[in-house]
Amino acid sequence: MKCFIGLGNPGKQYEQNRHNVGFMALDRFAEKWGITTFQNKNKALQAEGVVNGTKVYLLKPMTYMNLSGESMRAFLDFYKAKLEDVVIVYDDMDTAFGQIRLRYQGSPGGHNGIKSIIQHGGTQTFDRIRIGINRPAPGFNIADYVLSNFTKEEMKSIGEVLDLTCEAMEFSLTNSFEKTMAKFNK
């Protein structure tokens, strides 16, 4: 069993925000694998399916970004799952747009969703796929930046980034995370 938790904010007004690229990646993965039904469960929109013989759960926390860990904790407790079965998919300002970075530990780096995951998971060691969104221009408010929509130019290539993320997700189902990191960290 593997659970991918995409971080984002619920609501139409946030759908195309940089901060919601985790939700976008899960939606793309679900579409690719014919996982069609998301239900309200564990403080999230949750879906499940089988991908290459592995039971997969997709979780989009509905707690808003800063409380994402509550949804993860509810999932782990309900299914008696381990944090090792989880991969967090989220936006990262320190990764260039168009790239992804995989890590298995680290600090939140100012990301409130990851702070919440660490708080509710009790550790900084968990698998993660960080999707690059670039840093804002100097002087630009970070909160305003992550809650702004991707530019028209970025939207032209976001599909490629989401496809790359889905490839990494899929690869991680049948390979160790270390091997997945070696393949996708360029």
What is the C-alpha to C-alpha distance for residues 9 and 59, in angstroms, rounded to an integer? 12
Return the structure tokens found at 185.
């960290």
Q: pTM (2 decimals)?
A: 0.96
Concatenating the DSSP letter of every residue in 96-136 gives -TT-EEEEEE---TT-HHHHHHHHHHTSSEEEEEEEE--PP
Radius of gyration (Cα) for the chain, nearest Å?
Answer: 15
- Given a contact cutoff of 8 angstroms between Cβ atoms, the answer to whether 90 and 113 are in contact is yes
What is the C-alpha to C-alpha distance for residues 48 and 39, in angstroms, rounded to an integer? 10
Q: Over its length of 186 residues, how does the chain's per-residue pLDDT go in tens digits?
A: 999 999 999 999 999 999 999 999 999 999 999 999 999 999 999 999 999 999 999 999 999 999 999 999 999 999 999 999 999 999 999 999 999 999 999 999 899 999 999 999 999 999 999 999 999 999 999 999 999 999 999 999 999 999 999 999 999 999 999 999 999 998
What is the C-alpha to C-alpha distance for residues 164 and 172, in angstroms, rounded to an integer? 12
- Given a contact cutoff of 8 angstroms between Cβ atoms, the answer to whether 46 and 28 are in contact is no
Residues catalogued as catalytic: 19
| DSSP label at residue 86 | E
- Kindly state the helix (H) or strand (E) to which residue 49 belongs, with its residue range: strand 44-51
Give the HSE-up count for residue 154: Cα atoms under 13 Å, Cβ half-sphere.
Answer: 17
Helices and strands in the chain, H and E counts: 6, 7
Pairing of strands 100-105, 86-92: unpaired
Return the structure tokens found at 81.
């799952």
What is the C-alpha to C-alpha distance for residues 107 and 186, in angstroms, rounded to an integer? 21
Q: Which residue in 13, 14, 35, 17 sits closest to 26, CA to CA?
A: 35
